[in-house]
Structure 1
Amino acid sequence: MKLEECAASVVAALEKACIPHMLVGGLSSNIYSIPRSTKDVDFVVKLESSAFLREIECHLPDGFTFDPQITFENITGNVRHLLRIDGTPLVVELFELREGDAFQSERFRRRKSLHLPSLNRSVPIPTAEDVVVQKLRWARPKDLEDARGVMAVQGSALDYDYIRKWCLELGILDRLETVRRTVPEI
Structure 2
Amino acid sequence: MIGALALGVWGTPRATYDVDFLILAHCNDPQPFLGLLRAAGFSINETWHDANPMAREVVLRLAHPTAPHFPVDLVFSLGPFDRAVLDRRQAVDFHGLTIWMSSPEDLVLMKLRASRPRDFDDVISIVKNPRLHLDLDYLWGWANQLGLHGELSYVLHAADTGR
* 2:70 matches 1:94: no
Structure 1 residue 131: deviation in Å? 0.6
Unaligned 5+ runs, structure 2: none
2:90 to 109, 112, 131: 112
* 2:139 matches 1:163: yes
* 2:37 matches 1:56: yes
Distance 1:44 1:153, change over 3 A: same
Q: Is the 8 A contact 1:111 1:126 kept in 2?
A: yes
Q: How does 1:29-178 map to 2 (within 5 A)?
A: 29-49=7-27, 50=30, 51-60=32-41, 64-68=42-46, 69=49, 72-73=54-55, 79-86=58-65, 88-96=68-76, 98-99=77-78, 101-117=79-95, 120-154=96-130, 157-178=133-154
Q: Is the 8 A contact 2:124 2:156 kept in 1?
A: yes
Q: Write the letter of the residue equivalent to 1:42.
A: D
Q: Write the letter of the residue equivalent to 2:110.
A: Q
Distance 1:155 1:184, change over 3 A: farther
Unaligned 5+ runs, structure 1: 1-22
Structure 1 residue 44: deviation in Å? 1.1
Q: Write the letter of the residue equivalent to 1:150.
A: I
Identity of aligned residues (%): 25
Q: Is the 8 A contact 2:22 2:74 kept in 1?
A: yes
Question: Normalising to structure 2: TM-score of the pair?
Answer: 0.83
Question: Normalising to structure 1: TM-score of the pair?
Answer: 0.73
Separation in structure 2 between the aligned mates of residue 41 and residue 140 of structure 1, nearest angstrom: 17
Number of equivalences: 154
Separation in structure 1 between the aligned mates of residue 132 and residue 45 of structure 2, nearest angstrom: 42
Indicate the SS of the match to 1:177: helix
